[in-house]
Every structure is written in structure tokens, then in C-alpha cells.
């Protein structure tokens, strides 16, 4: 059965699944009763500020630390009990790569590969070269790792995770230290891996990174899961602002205010505002849709708003809902700001 405890070799519906997963350090509750579901084949963004419990969760999922309570399954098997069965199918880059500074990038990979009991030594060099090429390090393969920049070390760590085909790739802040070009290259690589059938679980504190590359996401803050679902659903559950393009912004703002539109912002030829009845909860993923319904099911009747503007003599050149972003969803859910692009 998909996702069952005994399913390790076949396909599992959820490659990661946790139930009330909790980690406490003394009085500090690092992860609080986490229920997480990562669909097979997804690029799953694990989103939250630094210190929100992301890395602690990943360390429990990988069997590096024991949970205080609750349970976790990876590839359909319980962790940490099934570590030896699960980890050969998982590539991971957690808290930066552990490298031998006196060895070259290539020799680091050869050493990583030799530590894998499932790796065929006859094809070791070919695997290392392919992994170096995939992360753009072929030209620097002979350079000692201690001379690598932080971004190059991240790339080498990712290459180590890609030495073998993986069912699951777990990346903890994979673009840390990379310049914008390097970040784009890693995003492209993640998309390629997903297209080849690898599920990618990617933690980040960068909203922009998650929105560009991920199909699904979960939002953590202070050790607790706030929401999870597809990126499109999470954004749709946030407030979509009404946007009116008009050469009569003053009159348009007056009419919209009378109709109950709030948080009005006017520019020379545009007025935006919050539609009446919106609360931005977004937690159930229902959100805004083309019918003008808000998350509570209230009919916002955009046609009536438009008619009120036209009836008042406002020249309406454009009228509609602006798509909410993942940033909007996060602010609506937590009431706090967040890193958007770093």
C-alpha cells in the first residue's frame, strides 16, 4: 500500500510523513508536534526564518538525532529505526558540506563515494566527474577544497549528494553563499532532478527562492507548522488586491471606499485596495478564485464594484484582482515580515 510502513522499495505516495514530531532541548521546544506531508515527485519548500526549527526537523528525518516524541517516516519507513535501509536512497546537504580541506574537490567526492557500500568502485571516477560537471565544478575539480569559496563548497556538497541516483534529495539552505548566477544554476538543477523523478525537499529562509522553484511548501515559525500545501494554493489563500487602472484615481478611490474597499493606495493612474470581507487566513488553501469568492466564501461581486465606478463617471481602463504572492501569504499567516530575496 502506498505510504505504508512496509513500503520501501516501491513507490510511496508521501516520501516524508511526520505525526506530532517533537524535539525539545531542556526547556526549549525546537519542533512542536509537527505534522508534515511531502508528496512523491514534488519540489517541496520548507520555509521559515532562521531558528524556526527547519534544520532540527531535517536532522530528525535523516536519523541524525532522536525525536523527543512523535514519529517520522521517510520513503515509507520509520526513522531513525530504518536509517540503514532508507539513507542509501537519499542524498542530503545539511548545514553545509563536511569537506577535507587538504583534498581537491575531485578527491573529496572519490572519498565520499568510497564510503558508500553500495557504490561500484569500477565506475567511481566516472560518477565523480559526472557530479562535478552537473554542479559546474569541473574546472575547479583539482583545486584544494580549503581554497573554495562558500558557494563552491555548497556546490561540492551538492555534488556529493548526487553521486548516486536518489529517490529523495534533502537540501538545507542550498543556495547559501551563492551569487545570483549560482542561485539560478542551482534552481535549474533542482528542476532537472525533479523532472527526472527525484523528490526534492529544500529548506530555505528565502521566499523568492521557494516561489521560483517549488511546487509545494510548508511554513514554519518558532518550531510550529503554520500551513502546508501547493505553492499556488498558499499564494491563492492570501489577499489578492483589487487593482483599478484609471485617469481618475481620486474619484475611483472615493467610490471604492464607499463600497467598503479598504487600505486604498492611489498613484497617478492606478488605485489598489483590499476587498471587503477578506481576512487573508489562507490556511485551508481555498483562497481567492476567479469567481470573486474570498476564503470565507463571501461573494465579493466584482461586477458591482466595477458598475459603481462606471456609474460615478470614473473612466475604468483596467479592473481585476492582482495575484497574491507567497510573501503575501506568509505575512497574512504570521503577521510578520520575511526575507524575500536574501
Three-state DSSP at 194 gives: helix
Is residue 234's pLDDT more than 80?
A: no
The pLDDT-based confidence of 322 (bands split at 50, 70, 90) is: confident
The pLDDT-based confidence of 173 (bands split at 50, 70, 90) is: confident
pLDDT at residue 210, rounded to an integer? 79
Query: What is the C-alpha end-to-end distance of the chain, expressed in Å?
Result: 42
Is residue 7's pLDDT more than 90?
A: no
pTM: 0.70
| Residues with Cβ within 8 Å of residue 195, at least 6 apart in sequence | none
CB atoms within 10 A of CB 263: 12
The pLDDT-based confidence of 342 (bands split at 50, 70, 90) is: very low
Over residues 310-322, mean pLDDT: 88
| Residues with Cβ within 8 Å of residue 223, at least 6 apart in sequence | 29, 30, 31, 32, 52, 53, 56
pLDDT at residue 277, rounded to an integer? 62
Chain centre distance of CA 41: 14
The fold of 239-323 is Alpha-Beta Plaits (3.30.70)
Is residue 281's pLDDT more than 80?
A: no
Over residues 271-285, mean pLDDT: 58
Nearest CA to 220 out of 56, 1, 43 is that of 56
User: Exposure pattern of 146-185 as b/e (b: 16+ CB <10 Å)?
Assistant: eebeebbbbbbbbbbbbbbebbbbbbbbbbbbbeeebbeb
Over residues 47-63, mean pLDDT: 89
In the chain, ranges of CATH 3.40.50.300 domains:
14-235
Mean pLDDT of the chain: 82
Residue 340: which H helix or E strand, with range? none
pLDDT at residue 263, rounded to an integer? 81
The pLDDT-based confidence of 169 (bands split at 50, 70, 90) is: very high
pLDDT at residue 10, rounded to an integer? 47
The pLDDT-based confidence of 286 (bands split at 50, 70, 90) is: very low
Q: In sequence order, what DSSP letters do the residues of 1-20 get, joined into one string?
A: -TT-TT-SSS--SEEEEEEE
Task: Classify domain 14-235 by CATH architecture.
Answer: 3-Layer(aba) Sandwich (3.40)
In the chain, ranges of CATH 3.30.70.100 domains:
239-323
Q: Are strands 14-25 and 28-34 parallel, antiparallel or unpaired?
A: antiparallel
Is residue 215's pLDDT more than 70?
A: yes
Amino acid at each position: 500500500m502506498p505510504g505504508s510502513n512496509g513500503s520501501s522499495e516501491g513507490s510511496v505516495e508521501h516520501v516524508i510523513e511526520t505525526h506530532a514530531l517533537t524535539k525539545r532541548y531542556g526547556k526549549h521546544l525546537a519542533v512542536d508536534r509537527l505534522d508534515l506531508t511531502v508528496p512523491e515527485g514534488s519540489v517541496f519548500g520548507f520555509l521559515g526564518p532562521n531558528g524556526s526549527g527547519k534544520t532540527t526537523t531535517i536532522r530528525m528525518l535523516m536519523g541524525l538525532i532522536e525525536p523527543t516524541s512523535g514519529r517520522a517516516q521517510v520513503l515509507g519507513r520509520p526513522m531513525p529505526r530504518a536509517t540503514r535501509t532508507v539513507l542509501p536512497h537519499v542524498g542530503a546537504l545539511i548545514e553545509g558540506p563536511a569537506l577535507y580541506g587538504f583534498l581537491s574537490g575531485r578527491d573529496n567526492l572519490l572519498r565520499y563515494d568510497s564510503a558508500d557500500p553500495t557504490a561500484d568502485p569500477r565506475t567511481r571516477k566516472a560518477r565523480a566527474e559526472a557530479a562535478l560537471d552537473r554542479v559546474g565544478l569541473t574546472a575547479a575539480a583539482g583545486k584544494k577544497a580549503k581554497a573554495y569559496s562558500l558557494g563552491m563548497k555548497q556546490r561540492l556538497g551538492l555534488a556529493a549528494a548526487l553521486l548516486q541516483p536518489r529517490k529523495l534529495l534533502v537540501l538545507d539552505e542550498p543556495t547559501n553563499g551563492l551569487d545570483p548566477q549560482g542561485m539560478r544554476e542551482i534552481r535549474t538543477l533542482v528542476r532537472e532532478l525533479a523532472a527526472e523523478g527525484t523528490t526534492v525537499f529544500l529548506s530555505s529562509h528565502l521566499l523568492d527562492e521557494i516561489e521560483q522553484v517549488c511546487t509545494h511548501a510548508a511554513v514554519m515559525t518558532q518550531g510550529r507548522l503554520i500551513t502546508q500545501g501547493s505553492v499556488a494554493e498558499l499564494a491563492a489563500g492570501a489577499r489578492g488586491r483589487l487593482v483599478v487602472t484609471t485617469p481618475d484615481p481620486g474619484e475611483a478611490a472615493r467610490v471604492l471606499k464607499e463600497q467598503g474597499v479598504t487600505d486604498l493606495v492611489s498613484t497617478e493612474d492606478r488605485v489598489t485596495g483590499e476587498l471587503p470581507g477578506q481576512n487573508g487566513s489562507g490556511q485551508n488553501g481555498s483562497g481567492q478564485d476567479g469567481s470573486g469568492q474570498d476564503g470565507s466564501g463571501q461573494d465579493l461581486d466584482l461586477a458591482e464594484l466595477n458598475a459603481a465606478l462606471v456609474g460615478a463617471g470614473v473612466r475604468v481602463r483596467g479592473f481585476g484582482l492582482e495575484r497574491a504572492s507567497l510573501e503575501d501569504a506568509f505575512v497574512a499567516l504570521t503577521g510578520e515580515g520575511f526575507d524575500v530575496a536574501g
